Amino acid sequence: MTKSARLRAENWACLLLLAGLALWMVWPFPWQQGAPAPLHGLTELAPWQEARPAEAVRAAAPPNDQLIQRHYPWCAQLRQAAQARELPLWNPAEGFGTPFLGLWRTRVFSPFSLPFYALPLPLAAAFSLSILLKLLVAGWAAYVAARRFAYAPPFAFLVAAAYQSCAPVLGFAAEPVADAMAWFPLAVFWGYAALAGRPRAWVGLAGILALAALGGSPEALGVMTLFLLAVPAVRAARTRTLEGLWGGYLAVAGALLLAAMLAAVQWLPYLEYRGESVASLNPSHGALRAADIAAFLLAPWRAAADGAPPRAALFLHAGLPALVAALWFAVRRHTERGRRRWTETFWITSLVFAAFALLAGRALESGHGMPLPRSEHFLLPWGFAWALLAVAALEEWVLLDAALCRGVFRRFLLWFTGACALFIGGGAAAVSASGGRPGAVAAGAGAMAAVVFVLMLATAVRPSARLLGYGLGLTAALGSLWALEPGRSFTPAASLYPETTFIAALREAGTRVGGTPSLRTWPVSVHGVPQVYAPSGVTLRRHAAFMGAAEKDPAVMRRGAVGALLLTRQDVQGAYAGLRPELNIQEVFPSGAILLRDLSARPRARMIYAGKKVGAFSPEALDADSLPQIEGEELPEKDAGPAATAEIVQPERNNRVVVRVAQTRPGVLVLADAFYPGWRVLVDGAPGRLVPVDGLFRGVPLGEGAHEVVFEYRPLSVFAGLIVSLAGFALLLLLLLLPHRRA
């Protein structure tokens, strides 16, 4: 076998080994039904408490987990849209309707959302397959990037195994941040190639950034962009020259522009949504504390007494590459100058980002109402930079001659001992001071340190790139599996939003559910139950204004076709006391919640013949007895005639609603769904006019006669974004094909 054939075989073997590690990381999928994600806390919420195992220990406080409230329900919405064979543009089940595509984090166009569209799998299996694909792409992308950086297959495997099992990829594989970070190694390589002046490297960078943008994490995309912009400045400071700086910035700017074109179909609807929504704070994940530095080498999920350190501490975990990187400070003087500059440029840039997260963490976590990077996001490049530094040191180590090896090994022991004492000893002390158990958390880091020392000692006698690369790569993966414990995150299928009597009662109500504020954290829409609140965190400006009026006068909720109220005894005796004579008790649950039928709730589709014309919605003037506020249409303020019936034609679709109105007088058809740009209406096949009613709902002026009214969601932002994205894709193909034509 020739040398090139052996190299190809080794490359394929490494890719297969990484695939095996990815399967191991999502164990026990696919051998058991369920999802490799921590959804166990769902049974602490009232709708699913019935399914909690008797032996389970009840949590001290209800969970407030984005995975439970948002990410998995969003996947269910994607699955539902795929089964209905429609693009998931709109979600009618939450908050009187929400712009599903415009949220960005719903990952409608992410490549890792394909299992929900393309394969006839159960939802839990598609969810697991999506996570597996992220791990595969992250590992393979890191391997390809390391090979393109001219590292041998064993060292490229170490980079890939360490990155595939790092916190942003493995620890949060079910979240949008992993969709974006799976592509980060290739972004680093193409960014390096663009800064190095390689022709058309910026085109490859643009494609990778576009894939990351579709991943659903604006914060991760922002950090990747900032990292690529910071690298030239750090390199210029490192080399004390501006050579290639402006050309590099020009290449990155061109890549960002092309990536923006390619991803326009996602960010244009998002900008539209931002303009129609209330600026709300992102949920705080906790700024880094001094004690959280223990997570640098120790298992981050075990580094606090309460078992719940800030998410940022998880991203701080560097694991085995940080121990191996101690070798860099012993061999760096022997490293080729160009390799040393680029490696340290990436590493120093990640240190600057980490320092920013540590020093400015409180300000980042204070909330800013926009999806800007927070403490944890500035640590996203951390793991890959440490892995590159480690393999750069190992590569030089195996090339040293016997005369240099002895002195380098002595310096390595000095750095290695200091690192172990600082991060293992100091970290264990921090855990102990916070009330944790330092022995268990120090044992894992100590075991990794022992493996590093033994392999370094063995290769000092007989250098072996394969022993170092594959041995340390597997150790790095094992260390991350021990630290992040993905096996414990597996949730059996029976615990994934199980069907309970509570849920069955809500579904049998057959109407929109409102009432107790606890519904804000209960994603019952995953069961097909329409609800007033939006656990996904969407707060449209019109929705917030209407709900503000409803909090003052709960009878206002009747205008939103809220025929079922889920209330606690405190609610019945308090805010809803005035409605009790018109409420019919349907069921009382063991949790104390009461399901009531509101007999005076308005139909979801109805005709009105009296109203008040207003220039803008006034929540203060809205109460149970006030006239409907109509923006842009005038109706008489009194009308005592009969109302024509309006019926929603079934089956209903997410992006399309058909209403048939019987013989009617001139009036306004009200559909109690959220008014939002992009909704169009056809009245008997001809374009009609939409006007807001009571600030939130859609109204259509109708003339005399019987009518068929069709509401269709066709947002201009999506159409314009699609045109721009197609133009960007055509430009990308043209730029990729031009060199071949010239050749």
Q: pLDDT tens digit string along 702-716?
A: 999 999 999 999 999
User: Does residue 485 contact residue 301 with C-beta atoms inside 8 Å?
Assistant: yes
Q: Do residues 382 and 528 share a domain?
A: no
Lowest average pLDDT, out of 111-115, 419-423, 486-490, 630-634, goes to: 486-490
- Residue 271: its pLDDT value, please? 92
> Does 400 fall in a domain?
yes
> Does 113 fall in a domain?
yes
> Does 329 fall in a domain?
yes
Last residue of a domain, one of 551, 576, 598: 598
- Asked whether the predicted pLDDT for residue 369 surpasses 70, the reply is no
> Does 512 fall in a domain?
yes
Q: Do residues 615 and 575 share a domain?
A: no
Range of the domain at 650: 605-715
Q: Do residues 167 and 21 share a domain?
A: yes
Q: What is the mean pLDDT of residues 533-544?
A: 86
Q: Do residues 463 and 590 share a domain?
A: no
In DSSP notation, 296-364 reads: GTS-GGGSSTTS---HHHHHH---HHHHHGGGHHHHGGGS-HHHHHHHHHHHHHHHHHHHHHHHSHHHH
Q: Do residues 320 and 466 share a domain?
A: yes
Instruction: Please state, for a pLDDT cut of 90, what percent of the chain lies above it.
Output: 45
Q: Within a 10 A sphere around the Cβ of 454, how many other Cβ atoms?
A: 11
**564-567 vs 513-515, strand pairing mode:** parallel
Q: Do residues 533 and 475 share a domain?
A: no
- Residue 736: its pLDDT value, please? 86
Per-residue pLDDT reduced to its tens digit, 196-242? 888 889 999 999 999 999 998 998 999 999 999 999 889 888 888 77
In DSSP notation, 535-602 reads: TT---BHHHHHHHHHHHH-GGGGGGGT--EEEE-HHHHHTTTGGGGGGEEEEEE-TTS-EEEEETTPP
Q: Do residues 676 and 658 share a domain?
A: yes
Q: Within a 10 A sphere around the Cβ of 27, how many other Cβ atoms?
A: 14
- Residue 617: its pLDDT value, please? 92
CA 607, distance to chain mean position in Å, is 41
Q: Is 71 exposed, middle or buried (0-12, 13-18, 19+ CB in 10 A)?
A: buried
> Does 82 fall in a domain?
no
Q: Is 693 helix (H, G, I), strand (E, B) or coil?
A: strand
Nearest CA among 464, 391, 377, 7 for reference residue 162: 391
Q: Do residues 241 and 261 share a domain?
A: yes
- Asked whether the predicted pLDDT for residue 542 surpasses 90, the reply is yes
Nearest CA among 522, 496, 620, 437 for reference residue 72: 496
The structural domain count of the chain equals 3
Q: Is 665 helix (H, G, I), strand (E, B) or coil?
A: coil
Q: Do residues 511 and 558 share a domain?
A: yes
> Does 345 fall in a domain?
yes
What is the pLDDT confidence band of residue 358, given thresholds at 50, 70 and 90? confident
Helix boundaries (H) for 2-67: 3-25, 66
Last residue of a domain, one of 598, 625, 656: 598
Radius of gyration of the chain (CA): 29
Q: Within a 10 A sphere around the Cβ of 83, how many other Cβ atoms?
A: 11
Last residue of a domain, one of 598, 620, 640: 598
3-state helix vs strand vs coil in the chain, percent to 5: 60, 10, 30
Distance of alpha carbon 509 from alpha carbon 506, whole angstroms: 5
Q: Do residues 621 and 563 share a domain?
A: no
Per-residue pLDDT reduced to its tens digit, 570-601? 888 787 888 888 888 888 888 778 888 988 89
Q: What is the mean pLDDT of residues 614-628?
A: 90
DSSP secondary structure letter of residue 671 = E
Q: What is the mean pLDDT of residues 343-354?
A: 92
Q: Do residues 225 and 266 share a domain?
A: yes
> Does 75 fall in a domain?
no
Distance of alpha carbon 258 from alpha carbon 665, whole angstroms: 54
Q: Do residues 463 and 569 share a domain?
A: no
> Does 59 fall in a domain?
no
- Residue 741: its pLDDT value, please? 45
Q: What is the mean pLDDT of residues 457-477?
A: 91
- Asked whether the predicted pLDDT for residue 472 surpasses 90, the reply is yes
In DSSP notation, 421-444 reads: IIIIIHHHHHHHHTT--HHHHHHH
